[in-house]
């Protein structure tokens, strides 16, 4: 089977500064790093490195061809990424010596996708494939509706969180990923607990406490503990968890096993600096000693 990911692709530009700039102040950066980012790209890489056939649906500008090449190198099927007449999404990230950061995010091509592009990509999908989305592109509700009509298993990672965006896709999704804060915000907006949303499977990540699965069919719950590690960078950990869960489900693993494997992948991820470029592969996850 395959995982079809309607997802963002960002260029992350990270500048190390002596301190955060004051209004009108010009600062020289002591270092600069550029890498592949975006929640969508992270999830595609995670799914591919976990052994799934991950097909990314998205867009970049002419200057972003290298991001597509990088995704291909990591095993992602990039045939459904369009080159659009706008800049690639990018993040300008300033980091001070204490680790505090400020981020300017430009969505760019991530918000210039068309329904025709999504429909054409999904005509290659098979019933039972997984369609994944996050809140960093446009066309989420339209894609969810198309996926639902085609018999795909529709998954939504509700980040960056927006209650209206989640509620727009709820009628069409089968699996919902939230963190603890997002789950509380969604319950406040809808008045419904995770197991009462009408979604078959809801997974709430709980940070160092692990993750919880809510079965919307019978109301049962599964708790999966987190691995004990010393984190150095939590960037991309949630995206890695999501990609690994879906890859495991795609291989036919039961939910508890899928979440356990994803928890191990997320634990490895937080011991590394970076995002898509440092997501562990399945062999690393299976052999890791915690």
Contacts of 220 (CB under 8 A, 6+ apart): 214
- Put residue 184 in one of left, alpha, beta given phi > 0 → left and psi -120 to 50 → alpha: alpha
The reply to whether 239 belongs to the active site is: yes
Alpha-carbon distance values, 7 to 56, 107, 110, 132, 239 (Å): 7, 12, 8, 8, 11
Residue 236 and residue 262 in contact, taking contact as beta carbons nearer than 8 Å = no
Work out whether the CA dihedral 163, 59, 106, 2 comes out positive or negative.
positive
Structure tokens at 64: 């972003």
Cis peptide, bond prior to residue 263, ω within 30 of zero? no
Active-site hit among 218, 239, 250, 281: 239
Tell me which residues are annotated as active site.
239
């Amino acid at each position: 089977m395959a995982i079809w990911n309607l997802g963002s692709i960002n260029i992350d530009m990270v500048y190390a500064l002596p301190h955060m700039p004051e209004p009108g102040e010009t600062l020289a950066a002591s270092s600069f790093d550029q890498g592949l980012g975006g929640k969508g790209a992270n999830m595609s890489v995670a799914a591919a490195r976990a052994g799934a056939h991950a097909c990314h649906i998205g867009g970049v500008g002419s200057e972003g061809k290298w991001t597509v090449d990088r995704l291909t190198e990591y095993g992602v099927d990039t045939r459904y990424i369009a080159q659009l007449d706008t800049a690639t999404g990018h993040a300008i990230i300033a980091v001070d010596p204490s680790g505090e950061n400020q981020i300017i995010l430009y969505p760019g091509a991530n918000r210039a996708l068309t329904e025709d592009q999504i429909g054409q990509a999904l005509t290659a999908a098979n019933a039972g494939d997984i369609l994944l989305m996050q809140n960093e592109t446009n066309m989420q509700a339209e894609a969810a509706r198309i996926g639902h009509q085609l018999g795909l298993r529709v998954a939504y990672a509700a980040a960056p969180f927006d209650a209206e965006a989640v509620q727009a896709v709820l009628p069409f999704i089968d699996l919902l990923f939230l963190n603890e804060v997002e789950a509380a915000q969604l319950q406040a907006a809808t008045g419904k607990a995770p197991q009462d949303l009408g979604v078959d499977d809801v997974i709430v990540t709980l940070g160092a406490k692990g993750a919880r699965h809510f079965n919307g069919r019978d109301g049962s719950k599964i708790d999966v503990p987190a691995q004990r590690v010393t984190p150095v960078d939590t960037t991309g950990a949630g995206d890695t968890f999501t990609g690994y869960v879906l890859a495991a489900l795609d291989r036919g693993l039961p939910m508890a096993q899928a979440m356990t494997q994803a928890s191990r992948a997320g634990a490895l991820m937080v011991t590394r600096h970076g995002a898509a470029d440092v997501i562990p592969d399945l062999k690393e996850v299976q052999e890791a000693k915690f």
